Chain A
Amino acid sequence: DTGVSQDPRHKITKRGQNVTFRCDPISEHNRLYWYRQTLGQGPEFLTYFQNEAQLEKSRLLSDRFSAERPKGSFSTLEIQRTEQGDSAMYLCASTRGPLTDTQYFGPGTRLTVL
């Protein structure tokens, strides 16, 4: 059990560029969540997967955001045409399954859009 990992840890990009983040959950965890956190706020839900199926996506999430988990293991979160308002910490968390609520978080990817 190596914990949840995320890559990269930091990303600086120019407005209008596309970025992609990766999350590797704990190996036997079949639920994977993406959150966004800005300074002074709690994590804001973006989307989650059970295995490879994307079960829910936040209604507040722009169409510029898309996430995949093609083989039910790692997941990617892509942001197209980044805006300065996208600057935040992007957190990934995993849980063992639908009957387990304890989420284990990765270290996050800090995105800065210039």
Chain B
Amino acid sequence: EDKVVQSPLSLVVHEGDTVTLNCSYEVTNFRSLLWYKQEKKAPTFLFMLTSSGIEKKSGRLSSILDKKELFSILNITATQTGDSAVYLCASAPFPNTGNQFYFGTGTSLTVIP
């Protein structure tokens, strides 16, 4: 059964801390891994990772994919209260393979001032 699993389910940190969120996947016809941030609304896109071992960065956020071990991590350095959200990862299939996108249940991050 195809699945995407995220850990931890929730995390509480203080401003300035660094956090690492984990996403593992077992998916047929896997092509890429996506990270989203969801506040009290629809998910917003953060990263798409297709190649193994290449880090993507955007400000204080970075992410990397390991296609051999079937996982990805999302790092947030110098956390701020505005980083408080649910972080979702999703697997995307190769096109026209009849497979759907699978989302994890998310990691709820709370950053305390």
Tell me the A residues contacting B by CB distance below 8 Å: 33, 35, 40-45, 48, 55-56, 58, 91, 98-99, 101-108
Is B80 an interface position by the 8 A CB rule? no
Tell me the B residues contacting A by CB distance below 8 Å: 4, 31-32, 34, 41-45, 48, 88, 90, 92, 95-96, 98-106
Given contacts A42-B104, A45-B100, A48-B100, contact A101 B41 (CB under 8 A): no
Assembled-state Cα–Cα distance A101/B45 (Å): 11
Q: Is the CB of B92 within 8 A of A101?
A: yes
Q: List 7 A-B contacts (CB under 8 A).
A: A33-B101, A42-B103, A45-B101, A91-B43, A101-B31, A102-B45, A108-B42
Residues of A within 8 A of B105 (CB): 40-42
Q: Is the CB of A98 within 8 A of B41?
A: no
**B49 CB, nearest partner CB in chain A, Å:** 10
Given contacts A40-B105, A42-B88, A42-B106, contact A101 B48 (CB under 8 A): yes
Which single member of A91, A103, A107 contacts B34 (CB below 8 Å)? A103
Which single member of A41, A102, A105 contacts B42 (CB below 8 Å)? A105
**B91 CB, nearest partner CB in chain A, Å:** 10
Assembled-state Cα–Cα distance A107/B106 (Å): 18
Q: Is the CB of A91 within 8 A of B95?
A: no
Residues of A within 8 A of B95 (CB): 98-99
